[in-house]
Structure 1
Amino acid sequence: MPADYDKGAYPEPPRQTPVVDKQTALPNPALILSKLFYYSVDLPVTTFRDAVDSIRAKNKIVYYHQKFRRVPDLTECKEGDYPCYYEAEMQWRRDYKVDQEIVKVIQERLRACQQREGHSYQQNCSKEIHRFMY
């Protein structure tokens, strides 16, 4: 350390943390109420929720992974078999929605390719055009 060190410019930090001066001997009521709320309400509810969440995480069913069994076509149903008619109709509607989504994806890819390639899209986007047309 240099000899011309100025102790007034750089005072030493205090050696001990100052003690808080309590004004009263009574405990803080806000602290008591917060601890009472924590142990009587918050802790049991949080513990219960964590237990339920851990059970749910093991048995989680994702709605978009629902699998439907394939049913016979409407032409394969026997005459007067109304449940078969209904199931075939619902199968057709599900298939139709899936086909619509596939067409949307192909259209989006074709539009993106056309936007990206500009005037030469017919040459460079032939794969997308072929998928869309056939």
Structure 2
Amino acid sequence: MGEGRNPMERFKNSVYNILDGPVTLFREKIVVPNQQNYPWYHKKFRRVPTIDECYTDDVVCFHEANMQFKRDKKVDNEILNILRQRFEDCVLYEGHDAKEKCTPIYQQYEDASTNWFMKYGDLGAYGNVRDAYMKQKHRMVWERRYGPVGTGMTPKK
């Protein structure tokens, strides 16, 4: 009974086999045996030395640290976008109860955006890893002298 009972069904099966046969053969004999167990959609970058580990005249180390900084910034931007989208989805879903039910998500987003601004804020479009490192250094000096940023300029005792 395999071929079909009427001529139209046999014709349909033969056309299907003519079109599908070479494709299936190519996949089973060439593609599948040569596939590697490799997650091609995730490129893994090794962590490189940070800018504080580079010598001042090591241009290659600076370039690698700068590329790592840019990748980390893109990841942090996406994390912030995901948190923002989560909060917006929560507000849309909860409606009138959003004020109380979405507060933890909003707080998480606010903490992440504050941390993002501490690291990348005020660097501008062309900020690099050296600028971010100097910003961090100046912030640490300020906090050592005056306490946390935002508490005023009364020297610590």
TM over 0.5: yes
Summarize the alignment of residues 117-132 of structure 1 with structure 2, pairs less than 5 Å apart: 117-132=94-109
Q: Residue 102 of structure 2 aligns to which amino acid in structure 1? A: C
Aligned equivalent of 2:49, options 44, 57, 72 = 72
Summarize the alignment of residues 1-134 of structure 1 with structure 2, pairs less than 5 Å apart: 47-57=25-35, 59-134=36-111
Report the structure number with the largest CA radius of gyration: 1
- Offset at 1:117? 1.5
1:19-66 superposed Cα distances (whole Å, 9 cap, x missing partner): xxxxxxxxxxxxxxx9xxx7xxx76x8645532212233x04333322
TM-score (norm 1): 0.59
Q: Residue 131 of structure 1 aligns to which amino acid in structure 2? A: Q
Q: Report percent identity of matched pairs.
A: 37
- Offset at 1:96? 0.7
| Higher mean displacement: 99-108 or 62-71 | 62-71
Counterparts of 1:49 and 1:104 in 2: how far apart (Å)?
Answer: 39
Q: Residue 104 of structure 2 aligns to which amino acid in structure 1? A: K
Counterparts of 1:48 and 1:111 in 2: how far apart (Å)?
Answer: 47
TM-score (norm 2): 0.51
More helix by share: 2
